[in-house]
Amino acid sequence: MTQLTSASQPRARKGARGNTKFVIGGVIVALVILWLIWSNIGSSSTPYLTVRELTAEGASNRLVRGAGFVVDGSIDWDPQAMVLRFEITDESGTLPVLYRGPRPDLLEDGAQVVVEGKYTGEGVFEATAVLLKCPSKYIEE
């Protein structure tokens, strides 16, 4: 009988170790999932700011969105360097925008645009994305 009890004791310890590993693994997986959710909440909640709010806030590393209309005659496109400069305006003011990347096809004077990026201290909005609303000419009458 003493041999059976001594043989069963290591098995009980081995089972407890196995359960502990599963619990620790489950906690690690749960923490990773929570971190992924938390880190993505900030990027999905990018606020829309007016031109006045952007300039009043000053330089920031915070990702924001601004909406407005392209100022007539302000589009300056350099295809070699792939640099696009233009100005947007809304009822609160005008803001110069700098975007590095391919020129959006629908970008034209007076187009309604949403820019996403960061406002620099030099009075320029550095856009990482330029989104344009489809013009009303595509809507059936």
Which candidate, 108, 136, 138, 114, places its Cα nearest to that of 127?
A: 114
* Domain map (residue ranges) of the chain: 1-45, 48-138
The pTM of the full predicted model, rounded to 2 decimals, is 0.64
Residue 85 backbone dihedrals phi, psi, to 5 degrees:
-120, 135
In tens digits, what is the pLDDT along the chain, a chain of 141 residues? 555 555 445 555 555 666 888 899 899 999 999 988 887 775 556 677 888 888 887 787 888 888 889 999 999 999 999 999 999 998 888 999 999 999 988 888 988 899 999 888 778 899 999 998 776 655 555
Which candidate, 124, 68, 118, 65, places its Cα nearest to that of 93?
A: 68
Q: Options 2.60.40.10, 3.40.50.2300, 2.40.50.140, 2.40.10.10; which CATH number does 48-138 get?
A: 2.40.50.140
